[in-house]
Amino acid sequence: MHSSEHQLQQRIQELELELAASRAELQEFTYTVSHDLRAPLRHLVSFARLLEEEAGAQLTGESADFLRTITASADYMGVLLDALTALSRLGAVQALPGAVELAPVVESCVREVQAGFVDRVVAVTVDVPAPLEVLADEAIVRQALSQVLANAFKFTAKVAEPVISVSVHQAPEGKVQLWVEDNGAGFNPAMQDKLFKVFGRLHSAKQFPGLGVGLLTAQRLLAKVGATISLVPREQGGALACLSFLQAKK
């Protein structure tokens, strides 16, 4: 091996180590911040509720609304901290890449997510041929796909006849794409840069509940097995999520 090639490889290894150290440091920082904020937040919630119990009956009009807002906001901050902590722990998730058959995983995820929306009638179609294997980790595929499906169900809540389809498409370079399409709210393409950011929301919480971490969670998990995710608005309304995997070699 030439000296220049050896130096290049050595530099790449050094950069990889630096990157791994930076990621670990960031994860530790995020976890520490979210953990340390919990103590004062618990006090805030506890004393706000005590105040409600002790003096709630004496408060009227705006004063009562102010106190309810304090309590609700503190509760919501606790939920955000839980989500931030969960994101910080994704770095520790270990992936075991191997051949994963898509059809049974997709069908299982659809059933599980649909069970969480029993109060709604949603037409779901699944077109995933069997056998078809991708290079991934089954647990990671399940978690990522469940996040995407949950979004599809959520954002079709205000559609008269919600439709969700899951299908497979062959792509160049030995890749397989798993498409999840819906006819829901869709989004403005100009705001696409917010999709994969922490607490990135394209709709207000009043329109659709949620924290804006589902897609980011899916993206970070899929990256561990060399897979990717993208989201585009559909011309006829709704959105199309594309999960791209390497096809497992037979």
Token pair of 158 as six digits: 């205000």
> For residues 150 and 71, what is the distance between their CA atoms, to the nearest angstrom?
28
> For residues 223 and 244, what is the distance between their CA atoms, to the nearest angstrom?
10
- For 190: left if phi > 0, alpha if psi spans -120 to 50, otherwise beta; the answer is alpha
Q: pTM for the whole thing?
A: 0.72
> For residues 187 and 161, what is the distance between their CA atoms, to the nearest angstrom?
18
Residue 26's pLDDT is 64
| pLDDT tens sequence across 185-243 | 878 777 777 777 776 666 666 676 666 678 888 888 898 888 999 988 887 888 999 99
User: φ and ψ at 107, to 5 degrees?
Assistant: -60, -40
Spatial CA neighbour of 201 closest among 190, 217, 213, 189? 213
The DSSP result for 209-232, as a single string, is: ---S-HHHHHHHHHHTTT-EEEEE
Model confidence at 63: pLDDT above 90 = no
Model confidence at 133: pLDDT above 80 = yes
